[in-house]
Each structure stands twice: as structure tokens, then as C-alpha cells.
Amino acid sequence: MTTTYAVLSEGLEKRFGTVHAVRGLDLAVARGTVCGVLGPNGAGKTTAVRLLTTLLRPDAGSARIAGHDLVREASAVRRRIGVTGQYASVDGDLTGRQNLRLFARLHRVRGPAERAGELLDRFGLTEAADRPASTYSGGMRRRLDLAASLIRRPDVLFLDEPTTGLDPASRNQIWDAVRDLKREGTTVLLTTQYLEEADQLADDIALVDRGRVAHSGSPSQLKALIGTYAEVVVAHPDALAKAAGVLDRLTGAEPSFDHERNAVGAVTGDPTLTLPRLVRELDAAGVPLLDASMRPPTLDDVFLRLTDRKEQAA
């Protein structure tokens, strides 16, 4: 295949009555990469995934998934994707093995029983294979869900909040599985509420807010949008003003004070402002310095900055 993008959407829109859930979604996910879709609750992440996996028909716009038109070639798209999410689940009344055999049969896999056995083994479910899925723990259930979406080695795997509500051990298992899949060449699009998850797994991040992609780029690019946070702690409160003056001159940004800790900080996008230079400048200005730090922003900072939190609270 010659297409560079496994997922390419332009201007996708979806309304539910008066709610405009997705309003012009432009998304490009390069083949073989992991794309993290981040956004506050109600941003339209889930609707976006439901559109891209043929579960909903878009009102406007277009998309190609693994080279096939989302609407006109929906069944070709379905042959090439795997979907795991809150809404695409397995049958709790069937055992793990029965579920996987059923999906293998529906996928026209030759040797459905063997394929089911392989996947149960890969996801550490062999022992529980013959118990109803409804008796599984949250982590086992999620692994079975994931196994079910890998029946026919999808070109593109969609994971909607794959680790929400899981304990750390189960979460790590899912993360390892995603890394393995990427190594095997599968493109993964995952939505998450956890910035750490996106930071750990994603090559690229799309920050979704109010139904469209507000920002996108690699985690480091997004962090660069915010800049570095420089903070200094001084020996006594009288020195705060002088320190703030130096920070203001160096960063050009409004300093913010933490009077309890005698600290003042500011955000900078200037790559030449390093910690040694900051310390030299403060020392030259006679600031009684106790501590100084330059901290790269976390994705949490990015998230809080680039999405409108007031809108979300409303």
C-alpha cells in the first residue's frame, strides 16, 4: 500500500439533535505510529472514534481508514480495523474461548479454534479460557476485549480509553501489548484521559476540544508550545520583588508568586535560557538564592493550558 496515513479525516461532523458533538475533525495518523487522542470529557473523543470505526455515519466530511473510504467502503474498513472500547465489548455469557472462536468465525479466519488458543495464550488467559467472561476481573476482561479486536491482525487498532479503571499492573500489561503491536507494524489510535498514558505510548498527540483537534504534534512539540517553567526560591520575602524583576527581564512573561515558599516563577520559550545562566543572572543582581529549577512542562500543563477549562466546567 502506498498511503502514508492509516487514518486521514477531513472535516468530519456529527450532530445529535442540537448537540454538535464533532465539528470538523481533521486527523492524520501515519502508518505504524501510535496516536493519542486527548481531551476533556465531552470533547467529542468517543464520538470521533465511533465515526472512524463505522459505528456512526458522519453528517459531513470524509475519512480514509487504511486507504478505504469510511462511508462508501465501510465493509472494507471493517475488515482492516480492530476496536476495543467501553462500547465494543465481548459477550459476558460466553467463555473467553467461545467469544474468540465466535469472532474468529465471523472474521472468516481459517482455524478459529487455533487462533482463539493463540490469543488466549498471548494475553495470559489460557487458565480462565473456559469460564464465562462475566466472571473475569477488570484487567482480564480488557485483555479479552483487546484479544477480540486482534483476531485478524488489524491494520488500524482503535482503543477507547483502554486502561480506564485498571490497576497499575493490568495497565502495564495493556501498555506492553500496545508497544508490541506497534513493533509489529499496527497503527494504533487510542483515546485516553491519562496524560501519562499518552506520554508513554503515543508518537503523536491530538488534543481534542469542543469537537475538533485543537492542537496536534509529538509530546515534545506540545510541551514546547508551553515552554519551560523557571522557578526560584529566595532566602527572605523582601528579595522576591528583585527576583521577579530578573525573571521578567529574562522571560518576558508575567511572574507568578508562591509567598508561602518565598518562590517566584515564570514560563519561558527561550531555549538559550538555561539553569546556569538563570543562576548567574540572579547572582549578579544580588538575589539571595536558595533554590532554582527549570522544569519541562508535563502533559498536564499542556492539557490545562491548551483546553478551555472554564468551558469544560460549564
Partner 1 sequence: MSALAYDGTAMLGRQLRRVRNNPALAILTQTMPITMLLFFGYVFGSALAMPGDAYRSYLVPGLLVATAANGIMTGMFQAAQDSHRGVTDRFRTLPMSRAAVPLGQASADLVVTAVGTVPFLLVGLAVGWRVEGSVAQAAAAVGLLLLFRFACAWVGILLGLASRSEEAAGQLGSATFMLPLLSNAYIPTDRLPGWLRTLAEWNPISAVTTALRHLFGNSPVPEGAAWPVAHPLAGSLAWCAALIAVFAPLAVRRYARGEG
261 DSSP assignment:
G
Select the residue interacting with partner 1 from 28, 30, 55, 253 (CB under 8 A): 55
Residues facing residue 302 across a β-bridge: none
Please tell me the distance from the alpha carbon of residue 145 to that of residue 170, in angstroms, as a whole number: 13
Select the residue interacting with partner 1 from 10, 26, 31, 56 (CB under 8 A): 56
Stretch 14-33 residues interacting with partner 1 (CB under 8 A)? 16
- Minimum gap (Å) between residue 261 Cβ and partner 1: 48
Q: Considering the complex, state which of residue 77 and residue 240 has its C-beta at the smaller distance from partner 1.
A: 77
Residue 186 engages partner 1 in binding (rule: CB under 8 A) = no
Q: Among 58-66, 94-102, 232-240, 266-274, which window interacts with partner 1 (CB under 8 A)?
A: 94-102
Select the residue interacting with partner 1 from 75, 259, 260, 313 (CB under 8 A): 75
* Grid cell for residue 170: 493490568
Cα–Cα nearest to 187, from 230, 156, 147, 221: 156
Q: Among 71-79, 240-248, 290-298, 301-309, which window interacts with partner 1 (CB under 8 A)?
A: 71-79
Residue 91 engages partner 1 in binding (rule: CB under 8 A) = yes
Please tell me the distance from the alpha carbon of residue 28 to that of residue 130, in angstroms, as a whole number: 40
The size of the interface with partner 1 (CB under 8 A), counted in residues, is 31
Q: Considering the complex, state which of residue 67 and residue 245 has its C-beta at the smaller distance from partner 1.
A: 67
Residue 111 engages partner 1 in binding (rule: CB under 8 A) = no
Q: Among 75-83, 161-169, 215-223, 238-246, which window interacts with partner 1 (CB under 8 A)?
A: 75-83
Beta strands in 118-171 (DSSP E): 156-160
Angle CA 59–84–88, to nearest 5: 65
Q: At what angle do helices 219-226 and 299-306 cross, to 10 degrees?
A: 60
153 DSSP assignment:
-
Residue 71 engages partner 1 in binding (rule: CB under 8 A) = no
- Residue 224: CB atoms within 10 Å: 16
